Structures are given as structure tokens and as C-alpha cells.
Amino acid sequence: MLHSIDWHARAKTAKLPNRPFIDGQYVDSLSGETFPCIYPGDGRLLTRVASCNAADVDVAVRSARKAFESGVWSRMAPADRRRILLRFSDLILANREELALLETLNVGKPIANAFNGDVVSAATCIAWYAEAIDKVYGEVAATAHDMTTLIVREPLGVVAAVVPWNYPMSMSAWKLGPALATGNSVILKPAEQSPFTGLKFGELAIEAGIPPGVLNVVPGLGHIAGKALGLHMDVDCVGFTGSTEVGKYFMQYSGQSNIKRIGLELGGKSPQVVLADCEDLDAAAAGIAAGIFGNSGQVCNAGSRLIVDEKVRDLLLEKIVAQARVFVPGDPLDAKTRMGSLVTEDQMDRVLGYIDAGRAEGAATVIGGGRVRNETGGFFVEPTVFDGVRNGMKIAQEEIFGPVLSAITVRGFDEAMEVANDTVYGLAGAVWTGSVKNAHRAAKAIRAGVVWVNCFDRGSFAVPFGGFKQSGFGRDKSLHAMDKYTDLKAMWFAH
Ligand code: NAD
């Protein structure tokens, strides 16, 4: 199916959603302002999208509040909510071709990844939470004999989901799944780089039977629409995924307004630690390359720091370079392409700026280091590996969010752990070792919300995902994510 479609032809006729979706329909924005949507594969203008301002956000919040208070969703029988969310998941899959195309047009990721990865993952996420709805129970506390004490979870009310552009559908689904399953109304604010699939989700939700107002989608700029949601007195919670810098703003917005709950999934600088006793350097090299060049390195948990023992360094680097050659930037709309563009010209310039900084600080490029496919007008950067990096360098400390690996050589286990933890981030980390003892020691020593041993980037909706330190708090995925969108209530019944 993927390979038989002429994606370029489809792109020419694709319907591009560009208006807010509020109260069950696409509406005109009050602001009348728009922002451009550029296809990063060739730099052409696709359309202009409504830029919601504080007044538009207010309309969306009032609609969401009204839906919540009416009980049409929040008090619906759990089994009915489950059926409707399963239908929403089915509709995402039924619209797989259109959603994959919209995602690739917005962010330049290979159509094969959008088609086989992003759409399927978003649908799976919604279905996972749908299935959970009528399978989670409250508690009965061990209180005095003349009391019955129930501990229950109740939905918060109006939840804002503010998401980034690197996996627009997945990041939206990670919020929508648990927030809708627990009975909240949600206002989704997609990143300005990638509004299409979120807007389409609004339409599919209505088709699935989710009542109007329960899912509103407001495209807009971060410092306008995102800020308006953060400061709104009638938004009860913000589920945010994005940069640490903007995550800090949301903490401030909360303090300046109504102490709304904030869940933060932020940036990372994840270590890939390869110990001297690693038994399978081929597997390590493949995992490390996929972990930094996949999605052009625009991944929050990208394994951007290679911390390698000097005993295996030369051989490992050779193997990583061989793996890097597999990631050839190509046409995102060609089904065979493995690596696409970066999301915007700005993002490309930022990544190239880091590559310059790495060179200026004395690191050596082993492979890559430049822009490619310039003739297309698109924003492509080739897989890049720096050797001779010290952990204090800018390219080892700051999140580049591009296909750039920084290799740091260490001696022994202790130094490896010290360097791995010498970062303000704590999203994820990995260790490659043949020793059971070192595997356990490292898994405990690495200060991160996720640690992989002899693998990288494995995931399941049954397992929580999120960070330590400045990578945020609160968890997406798994039943734990439902905690973020509910409050605990204790109810005492005297006999
Ligand atoms: P970003 O922080 O710039 O933007 C994220 C969202 O916040 C967007 O919707 C944006 O419009 C909005 N925003 C921007 N400025 C705002 C402001 N002043 N007030 C309110 N809202 C504002 O991040 P990005 O560039 O879209 O995405 C990349 C970042 O996301 C990286 O740091 C990456 O690590 C992180 N990320 C984290 C995870 C995770 O699960 N931890 C997953 C994916 C991406």
C-alpha cells in the first residue's frame, strides 16, 4: 500500500486543515491572523493557518468547560466512553494515508515512518487508554470499623495539551488518550510547525462520537495561544511536551494564574554508555546510530552523547560510521527514504550552528557535518559524528535536536557513570555491556526516567515514559499517565 501510492500526486491535492476546531466544527478564528506552513522537503508554502489568540483560546475553553460540566462525556458510562474512544482509534487507522501525508508535509519525516510508525502508534495509544477505562479501580482504605472510606480519582476538568512538532500525532495521542479516558475535556494546541494532524483529529473525534466541545483544537503560536492556555483561569491542567525553556514558562504561568496542574515532558541529552565488556559492538553501533539519526535526531530521548570506554572506542566508532552511511537524507515523500529533512530552516540553521560550535571547541568530525540536498530547497543535514568531545563542550551539554552524535572517551565504569550523569537533563540513558553485574549497577546509577540495557528506544504503552531533573516530571504512557489528569478524592462514610 505504502509503495503503490504516488505520494507526490497526493500531496498536490491534499486538503490541508487550517482553521481551529471548536465545539464540533472548523470555525474562523476571531483574530483573523495567520501563520505560514512550509513544506520542509522543498521550502514551499503549503498554506496559511489561523493563528489563535487569547480570545480564540477563551472560546475554546468555554466550550470545553460547558461540555465538561454537562456530564455528556465526564459522566458517561465508562464502557460507552471506551467504545467511542476505540472508534476514534479505528478512524485514525482508517485515515492512515491522509494522516501520514499531512504529517510528512508538516515536518519532513519519511512517509514510510509516518505511515508505519506515527499513525499506527497514535491509534494504538488511544485504543490502549480506551481499553483501560473500565479496568481501573478505586481503593477502600483500612479505616475505623464504623467508617467506610473510599479513595477515588476524578477528572480535573479542562485539560490543555500543548505539544511539539517532532512527533505531532504521537505526542498528541500521549495526552489525549489518558486525558479523554479519564473524562476530561481537552484543548489541543499543536506546534505551529505541525498543525495539520491535530486539526484532523478534531474532525475524527466527532465522527467517532466524542461530543462537541470535548476535544477542541487551537492552532497558534506558542507565545500567544500557548501562553493564553497557560495563563487561563479556567484551564485546570496543562500536559506539556516541549523544550525545557518553555516548560519553565508553564511553571510560571501556573503560579501567575490558578495553580493549574502542570505535567512536563521536556528535553534531553541522553547518554549511550558503551563499557569495555560490551559483547556485541555491532548491535551497539546499530542501536546508537538509529538512536541519533532516526527522525533526523529530532527526538527528545535521542542518544546524543556516546560515552565509550577507550578499550572499545576505535572499533565502535568505525562501526557507527558504517551504520551512519545507511541514513542517507532523501525525498520525504519517497516511500524508500530512511531519513528526511529537519522541520524548518531555523531548526536546520540551529543544528548547523552547533556543528560549527563543535568544530570551534576542537572536536573532530568523523563523518558528516554539513547541509545536503541544497538544490531541493529543503532543510537537510547529514548524519554527523564528532570525536574527541569533552563533556563540558557546548555540543555535549546542550540539546541539539539534530543528527549529531558527540563521542566522549572514558576509562572504566565509574568515569562512565560520572560523565553520563554530568548533565542538567535526565530523560533517558542506555548501557551496552556483557556483564550482568555492570548492567544492574549502571541501570541504578544513571539518573534518568528510562534506562535501556543492550537496546535503545524500546517502548510500550504498558511502560511509563518521562524524565528526571530538568527533563520534567509526570509521566506519559501506562496507567501512571492517568494520574496527571485526575485528582484524588477521599470519601468518608460514617455508619
Ligand atoms: P517548544 O518548547 O519550542 O514548543 C513546544 C510547544 O510549546 C509548541 O506547541 C509551542 O507552540 C509551545 N510554546 C512555545 N513557546 C511558548 C511560550 N512562550 N508559551 C507557551 N507555549 C509555548 O518545543 P519544540 O521545538 O516544539 O519541540 C522540541 C522540544 O520538545 C525538544 O526540547 C524536545 O526534547 C522536546 N520533546 C520532549 C519529549 C518528551 O517526551 N520528553 C518528546 C518530544 C519532544
* Chain segment 97-120, per-residue pLDDT in tens: 999 999 999 999 999 999 999 999
Atom of ligand 1 nearest to the CA of 476: 40
What is the rounded average pLDDT of the residues 417-429?
Answer: 98
- Best of 53, 121, 241, 264 to mutate for ligand 1, by most ligand atoms within 8 A of CB? 241
Predicted TM-score (pTM) of the model is 0.98
Question: For residue 242, how far is its CA from the centre of ligand 1 (angstroms)?
Answer: 2
Percent of the chain with pLDDT over 70: 100
Within 8 A by CB and 6+ apart from 149, the residues are: 140, 141, 143, 490, 491, 492, 493
- Best of 166, 260, 457 to mutate for ligand 1, by most ligand atoms within 8 A of CB? 166
pLDDT higher than threshold 90 for residue 378: yes
pLDDT for 478: 98
pLDDT for 441: 98
Question: For residue 266, how far is its CA from the centre of ligand 1 (angstroms)?
Answer: 7
Question: For residue 422, how far is its CA from the centre of ligand 1 (angstroms)?
Answer: 23
Which residues are near ligand 1 (CB < 6 Å)?
162-166, 171, 189, 191-192, 222-223, 226-227, 230, 241-243, 246, 249, 265-268, 300, 399, 401, 427, 467, 472
Q: How far apart (Å, rounded) are the C-alpha atoms in residues 244 and 467?
A: 11
Q: How far apart (Å, rounded) are the C-alpha atoms in residues 393 and 111?
A: 35
Q: Specify the residue with its C-alpha closest to ligand 1, atom 22.
A: 222
Q: Element (H or E) spanning 409, and its range?
A: strand 404-410
What is the rounded average pLDDT of the residues 224-233?
Answer: 99
pLDDT for 31: 86
Question: For residue 319, how far is its CA from the centre of ligand 1 (angstroms)?
Answer: 33
Q: How far apart (Å, rounded) are the C-alpha atoms in residues 139 and 186?
A: 26
Question: For residue 245, how far is its CA from the centre of ligand 1 (angstroms)?
Answer: 8
Q: Which positions are catalytic?
A: 265, 300
pLDDT for 386: 98
Domains and CATH numbers, the chain: 2-266+471-492 (3.40.605.10), 271-461 (3.40.309.10)
pLDDT, tens only, 454-486: 999 999 999 999 999 999 999 999 999 999 999
Burial of residue 31 (number of CB atoms within 10 Å: 0-12, 13-18, 19+): middle
Q: Are strands 486-494 and 147-155 parallel, antiparallel or unpaired?
A: antiparallel
Q: How far apart (Å, rounded) are the C-alpha atoms in residues 294 and 296?
A: 5
Q: Specify the residue with its C-alpha closest to ligand 1, atom 43.
A: 300
What is the rounded average pLDDT of the residues 60-87?
Answer: 98
pLDDT band at 1 (very low <50, low <70, confident <90, very high): confident
Query: What number of residues does the chain have?
Result: 495
What is the rounded average pLDDT of the residues 386-393?
Answer: 98
Long-range contacts of 418-422 (CB under 8 A, 24+ apart): 419/271, 419/305, 419/307, 419/391, 420/271, 420/273, 420/305, 420/307, 420/445, 420/446, 421/445, 421/446, 421/447, 422/391
Q: Specify the residue with its C-alpha closest to ligand 1, atom 23.
A: 242
pLDDT, tens only, 125-147: 999 999 999 999 999 999 999 99
